[in-house]
Amino acid sequence: MLKMFKTINKEKVFPSQDLKPDFIPFPKKCAGCGKKLPKEQFKIQHNVCPKCNYHHPISSYERISMLVDEGSFTEINRNMLSTDPLNFPEYKEKLESDKEKTSLNDAIVTGTACIGGYPVVLGVMDSRFRMGSMGSVVGEKITRCIETSLETGVPFILFSASGGARMQEGVLSLMQMAKTSVALEKMNKAGLLFVSVLTNPTTGGVSASFASLGDINIAEPQALIGFAGRRIIEQTIREKLPKDFQTAEFLLEHGQLDMVVDRRDLKQNLTTILKIHTTGVNTRDRK
């Protein structure tokens, strides 16, 4: 059997004091309205344009920092690496390049934390690493998150930001769609809450598997969500698609999402969901 991933050392738990938000380079102009962005206000607003509300990309650690209760995040499985099982040309070099650019080992950060006082297992994908593509490491880390939820009885919250399956890992990448879906079915049978948050972009095999399987599916405003690309669909059906096709708002209108929530309101909304849907003790009640 091919070895799809490896762990570079046995340490798998990293406490919250090691969490250092890695900020994405500041864009001088908004990708939504084209206007100049006020740097300080842009950062305070978590990379949301204060003029047009366009949600710019945000790094995984920065999202975790804004979302979880202070000091509550413990990262797990950080040192898992792809082994390039197919010996795909230039894949190792591209992985090393992305590691250097992002300080990540792959396209997802996972761990345990509290949100609004409620314990959760958390996964946050990062589109800066190989376009957030899903390979064997991403699939394994998500599956281990689900297993942690099953062991501890706490909800799993997953933020998707992905271009789909990672082509350099071929069928081993596609296998992660089934692997994560089967694991989520076990979680469903156990009666545990899974909240899927879809961010820009969530496409391909990720949108066709775990990202769409939440008990509650949430998206950020204007997020691109879909399987095949717009042009391919139009060529196949020989029809022009609506301008807002494959946007979060379009999917909400057509019943494929439960909520579209501004990034700045996500923590409060998730806290409310956890309060309603879980029986766990709020850690703040213990004080």
Domain boundaries of the chain, sorted by first residue: 5-17+59-286, 23-57
Residue 279 clears pLDDT 80, i.e. is over it = no
Q: Is 30 annotated as a binding residue?
A: yes
Q: Which helix (H) or strand (E) holds 120?
A: strand 118-125
* Cα–Cα distance, 203 to 190 (Å, whole number): 28
- pTM of this structure: 0.90
Over the stretch 31-85, which tens digit does the pLDDT of each residue have?
999 999 988 889 899 999 999 999 999 999 999 999 999 999 999 999 999 888 8
* Cα–Cα distance, 211 to 231 (Å, whole number): 22
Mean pLDDT throughout 190-194? 97
Q: Identify the pLDDT of residue 26.
A: 83
- Of 32, 29, 4, 104, which Cα lies nearest the Cα of 63? 104
Pairing of strands 156-162, 118-125: parallel
Residue 9 clears pLDDT 60, i.e. is over it = no
Q: Identify the pLDDT of residue 12.
A: 44
Residue 260 pairs with which residues in a beta bridge? Answer: 219
Phi and psi torsions of 6, nearest 5°:
-140, 160
Share above pLDDT 90 across residues of the chain, in percent, rounded to a whole number? 80
| CA-to-CA separations, 1 to 5, 8, 86, in angstroms, rounded | 12, 20, 12
> Which residue reads 């004091």 in tokens?
17
Q: Is 145 annotated as a binding residue?
A: no
Q: Is 114 annotated as a binding residue?
A: no
Over the stretch 246-255, which tens digit does the pLDDT of each residue have?
999 999 999 9
Over the stretch 142-173, which tens digit does the pLDDT of each residue have?
999 999 999 999 999 999 999 999 999 999 99
Q: Which two tokens stand for residue 261?
A: 């929530």
Contact by Cβ (8 Å): 177, 212: no
- Of 65, 170, 83, which Cα lies nearest the Cα of 122? 65
Q: Identify the pLDDT of residue 28.
A: 84
Q: Identify the pLDDT of residue 278.
A: 80
Is pLDDT larger for residue 231 or for residue 287?
A: 231
Residue 10 clears pLDDT 50, i.e. is over it = no
Pairing of strands 194-203, 225-226: parallel
Please report which residue ranges of 68-203 form alpha helices under DSSP H. 91-102, 136-152, 170-189
Q: Is 33 annotated as a binding residue?
A: yes
Residue 154, amino acid: V
Which CATH code for domain 5-17+59-286? 3.90.226.10
Q: Identify the pLDDT of residue 78.
A: 92
Residue 203 pairs with which residues in a beta bridge? Answer: 226
